[in-house]
Amino acid sequence: MATALSNLSSYDPMAVPTGKGKRVAIVVSDWNSSVTHKLLKGATDTLLQFDVSADDIIIERVPGSFELTYAAKMMIEKGKVDSVIILGCVIQGETPHFTFVCDSVTEGTTQLNLNYNVPVIFGLLTTLTLDQANARAGGRHGNKGDEAAITALKMMELQSRYI
């Protein structure tokens, strides 16, 4: 969604449900930490803005983006959480590693969403350059962490209507 047509941090605050009483896990990759830690700040600040208590935001760090889905699964199974946000950044390199990691995290996130009754929010930046990543981590395209937190709030509210 981050294009010249929209900003990741743009939303109507009146259309965002409260997170009061919700417990949200954020799993963040330490790889490309200059980017991912900005995503984490965006997500955390947004959750706090919409009444998720600081005590109800559980942050787990993993070495790289490939490990995000395993940690998310553990948080769902053991963490008693209402939603999990995964945050990572994979930047295209010279080898196919980029494609393998991006495909794996995408498929893993989809499987978690299909197999568990806990929304898992995809906050993985998949960019060609560090400049593109920075533009989506608080730069000119906003912050994917903000967008992921808003998505979590909306999905938890959706879930509460059906479960």
User: Distance between CA 28 and CA 144 in Å, rounded?
Assistant: 12
User: Distance between CA 128 and CA 54 in Å, rounded?
Assistant: 34
User: Distance between CA 20 and CA 5 in Å, rounded?
Assistant: 31
Q: Which of 34, 97, 110, 160 is catalytic?
A: 97
97 included as an active-site residue: yes
Place of tokens 């929010």: 121
Neighbours of 1 (CB within 10 A): 13
| DSSP per-residue letters across 121-153 | EEEEEEESSHHHHHHTEEETTEEHHHHHHHHHH
Amino acid (1-letter code) at residue 54: A
User: Distance between CA 124 and CA 106 in Å, rounded?
Assistant: 9
Residues annotated as catalytic (active site), given as ranges: 97
